[in-house]
A and B are shown apart, each in its own frame.
Chain A
Amino acid sequence: MDLTNGLLEQKVCLVTGTNRGIGQKIAERFAEEGSIVYANARQKDCLEEWAFGFNEKVSGNIIPIYFDITNSEEIKQAMMRLKKEQGRMDVLVNNAGIISNSPLGMIAKDSVRNMFEVNVFGLLDLTQYVVTKFMIKQKSGSVINIASITGVEGSKGQIAYSASKGAVISLTKSMAQELAIHNIRINAVAPGMVDTGRIKVTLKKEYCDNVPPIGMGRLGRSEEIADACLYFAQDTSGYTTGQVLVVSGGYDTQSRTLYNINFD
């Protein structure tokens, strides 16, 4: 049964960090809804097999586009290509990000710098290009920043990472205020613990004998984060801007309850 509704029919979208996990699911979900999705990754040719295989199954189209979001020149070249091929950009999902966890006293400045370089500065640079080159002129657009619940609630052992995601949330709110007049919406999705390879490593390291306090008793799925992004991407959220949608299955940092969670 086809559950898609063409919610993003003919919309042109750019999703960063699509070589795995959440970014890949967002690109797939958007393509299922009929959009033309430019899927970004840094490493050349790493998306071809996935993208072309997936395109056979859906009404939309995933097109790989390779650039490093920390490199302004590469962003510029990508923008020129998008301008030439589509002439518009309706949705930008800033998903690319890196994570490095260390407790206070063991935080290396270089690692913090790298994280901010990608999670904050790269995001800001790319958004500036997309907004000024396409969206202001169109008088429309939706930018979705992937933050994290750690940016909202804080997290033990994730001081630098949560600070970078906190910055993403702040810039989301400020951009929303600045760009509302141009009918450009800026929102953030803040995932809790999502079942990706990356989180499994963290969980094993951080929660060896304990389990995180997730009310629903399970990790989130990448598809569920993609669905939250779909809400912000489509026109039915046309009056929503500056919001942070936490998608965490009822993750409660104050809870003392231990839940039975299946990590497999």
Chain B
Amino acid sequence: MCNLEKYDEIFVDVFSIEEKNLNENIVRGAVKDWDSLGHVKLITTIEDVFNIMFDTEDILEFDSYDKGKEILKKYNITV
């Protein structure tokens, strides 16, 4: 499974979004389950899957599907 597939699968599992709907419109606040608990779940799942640990600043800035990809580059993960 490539990184993009792994990344997408996380969003599908955590927020119950259909894969075909994953796009730039997936932002915090617009997704029903992306509340504070959903955010923690998203972050910890990404950390587990990619074996990284986010800086607090990155956790705060991670506010969309696209932004997440950008942040992951800092950890040498290209999605």
Residues of B within 8 A of A76 (CB): 53, 55
Interface residue count for B (Cβ, 8 Å)?
A: 10
User: A133 contacts B47, CB within 8 Å?
Assistant: yes
User: B53 contacts A133, CB within 8 Å?
Assistant: yes
Residues of B within 8 A of A125 (CB): 56
Q: Does B12 contact A (CB under 8 A)?
A: no
In the complex, 24 of the A-B residue pairs with CB atoms within 8 angstroms, ordered by the A residue number, are: A72-B55, A72-B56, A76-B53, A76-B55, A79-B53, A80-B53, A83-B53, A125-B56, A128-B56, A129-B56, A132-B40, A132-B43, A132-B44, A132-B59, A133-B44, A133-B47, A133-B53, A136-B37, A136-B40, A136-B44, A137-B40, A137-B41, A137-B44, A182-B37
Hey, which bits of chain B sit against chain A, CB under 8 A? 37, 40-41, 43-44, 47, 53, 55-56, 59
Residues of A within 8 A of B37 (CB): 136, 182
Tell me which residues from 132 to 164 in chain A have a Cβ below 8 Å from any Cβ of chain B: 132-133, 136-137
Secondary structure call for the B interface? helix
10 additional A-B residue pairs with CB within 8 Å, beyond A83-B53, A132-B43, A132-B44: A72-B55, A76-B53, A79-B53, A129-B56, A132-B40, A133-B44, A133-B47, A136-B44, A137-B41, A137-B44
Residues of B within 8 A of A133 (CB): 44, 47, 53
Q: Mark A114-125, 1 if CB is under 8 A from B, else 0.
A: 000000000001
For B47, the closest partner residue in chain A by CB is A133
Bound form: Cα–Cα A207–B59 in Å? 48
Residues of B within 8 A of A83 (CB): 53
Q: Mark A62-106, 1 if CB is under 8 A from B, else 0.
A: 000000000010001001100100000000000000000000000
Interface centre among B44, B53, B55 (most CB of A within 10 A): B53
Bound form: Cα–Cα A131–B44 in Å? 11
Question: Least Cβ distance of A164 to chain B in Å?
Answer: 21
Residues of A within 8 A of B56 (CB): 72, 125, 128-129
For A73, the closest partner residue in chain B by CB is B55
Bound form: Cα–Cα A125–B40 in Å? 16
